Amino acid sequence: MPLIIVGDFNFNMFDGHPQFIEFMKTTFHCKQLVHEVTTKFKTQLDLVFSNIQDVKAEVIFCPWSDHYTISVTYDDKACNDRIL
Q: 51-77, pLDDT tens digit by residue?
A: 998 899 999 999 999 999 999 998 776
Domain boundaries, the chain: 4-81
The whole-angstrom separation of Cα 10 and Cα 13 is 9
Give the dihedral of Cα atoms 43, 27, 1, 38; nearest 10 deg. Answer: 0
Would you state the pLDDT for residue 74?
86
Residues of the chain with pLDDT > 70: what percent?
A: 90
pTM of the model: 0.86
Q: Is residue 82 very low, low, confident or very high in pLDDT (cuts 50, 70, 90)?
A: low
User: Are 45 and 18 a contacting pair, CB within 8 Å?
Assistant: no
Neighbours of 73 (CB within 10 A): 10
Would you state the pLDDT for residue 78?
57
Would you state the pLDDT for residue 16?
87
Averaged pLDDT for residues 2-7 = 94
